[in-house]
A and B are shown apart, each in its own frame.
Chain A
């Protein structure tokens, strides 16, 4: 573990322990280590002693905001569907949040999914999380048995091999173009804050937009060809909280259920549009995908459009309305103007 990660880990543990001991929070949501190199698990500490299991490293790739609504609800006293909400303050949850995670909490506040007064946010500035698929690719098919993080390097070793790779070369695509690595809301700041100047935020998207239409379609269908419809992308996403997802609806049934290409395409296209103007580019979908599909590029395209059309970036201001849930007289409307056929 790098020195920075070790320090952040210690501070998270200390703060979580303190908050749990004092009774200010009923649970603390963070990460604990996984059973394989480069894996972590979201973890709920409920007793001060659990705090020692919390960790921080470059593989904390799931978005913890995703767990908050259910965790908060589970801490409320049980009640029937018709019972009134309990009087008095409800138990609080502590949570570690990087830039994107904090922005998702803001989106959840805008969409009334979480109550800010029930959260104690430990903000951590993200150095960019590492994509374990990139590390695997660098290892060229050899199984990594140990991965050590240095300041700017990753030391990967396995049976009969050892290699050192530049950390930045293995950082996730979304982190490479992230301009909001610092938490936008927090109660405590943990570790050093770093500002990044990213000039080519949408370069990945512009490259795809530049393709001719048929090449773009081929890129898209090739990208999703391996999809197994496991919905890890949807379920890892803090934006996806509909009680019945459109893919599960049976009356009417919008999408076929197997992996026919048309059904898979429809799922990915609709999912991306559903996230338009709300997505913080946290990359949890891509990190969760077992098949290595880069579905983040689909949502990123819509982030770019929301940014260019409405000047909107998701999750920066709890008081702001999401761009697709509001109207301004100067909203662009080129898409409404249809050229007359000659």
Chain B
């Protein structure tokens, strides 16, 4: 045993950006304090890490930055429980802890390679898909056409607005950003993610889909995809459950025989269908 997997690396909050109009979602840029930790950190899009706040505890958060973005790690955090609330209150420069990377991640260098990629996300769930999209764009030649359907309730609730602007018009990238209802000043798409997905009708031919969002969105997005021929083994979902150790031991995140933290969080829809609905 060379390393204690429970010890977080010391890190500092280098920058904080408020993402949404309600102020409940912020993106934290985190830098390692020890050069050695920075140098050995390797992650895959879709993986997560445990963020530690002194005296408050740890929380699993999906990694929002791509491994191709070097020198820092990004986390986009929704304020919900004890630790995320504490995180939202702390200032730039504060020391925190980071433990990871944990979980499996999307098969960006496996099953997804050489394929057309469909990314579907709702609301705050775009975070690890941001990591994925940046990774795909950085290795553009390895993938075919990339189609993105991303929706939020209002324009103000969309994440990474500036980056979406920069991605607009990139070759081979079809961006479909939508909001639930008409809003003043919004000239883009309007409608729920399933509706827009049906309209975009991405071909399942040599393709893989990554879908992250509220369960209700996933539930209604699947029928239009199935109608045009998408198979369950082409669809990747990222599950969330309460987690404590992140190592597949403590038992909190088990869904039947699998541990979301270790065997997941990414599963194909085919795998998920064989599990009890305990997520």
**Which residues of A line the B interface, CB within 8 A?**
250-251
Contact = CB atoms under 8 A, between A and B. Distances in A.
B76 to A, nearest CB: 23
B82 interface: yes
Contacts of B82: 250-251
Interface string B53-89: 0000000000000000000000000000110000000
A258 to B, nearest CB: 14
A248 to B, nearest CB: 13
A250 B81 CA distance: 9
A254 to B, nearest CB: 13
Contacts of A250: 81-82
A250 B57 CA distance: 11
B245 to A, nearest CB: 15
Contacts of A251: 82
A251 to B, nearest CB: 6
Interface residues of B, number: 2
A295 to B, nearest CB: 28
Nearest to A250: B82
A250 B59 CA distance: 14
3 contacts: A250-B81, A250-B82, A251-B82
B110 to A, nearest CB: 38
A250 B82 CA distance: 7
B251 to A, nearest CB: 15
A251 B79 CA distance: 14
A2 to B, nearest CB: 45
A228 B121 CA distance: 44
B68 to A, nearest CB: 37
B109 to A, nearest CB: 39
Interface in B81-101: 81-82
A76 B95 CA distance: 52
A19 B82 CA distance: 50
Contacts of B81: 250
Nearest to B81: A250
B59 to A, nearest CB: 12
B261 to A, nearest CB: 20
A334 to B, nearest CB: 41
A251 B81 CA distance: 9
A177 B81 CA distance: 47
A262 B15 CA distance: 40
Nearest to A252: B82
Question: What 3 A-B pairs come out closest when comparing CB atoms?
Answer: A250-B82, A251-B82, A250-B81
A26 to B, nearest CB: 28
A111 B278 CA distance: 34
A251 B82 CA distance: 7
Nearest to A251: B82
Nearest to B85: A251
B64 to A, nearest CB: 26
A248 B81 CA distance: 14
A255 to B, nearest CB: 15
A251 B56 CA distance: 11
Nearest to B57: A250
B89 to A, nearest CB: 14
Nearest to A253: B82
A149 to B, nearest CB: 42
Nearest to B83: A250
A251 B80 CA distance: 12
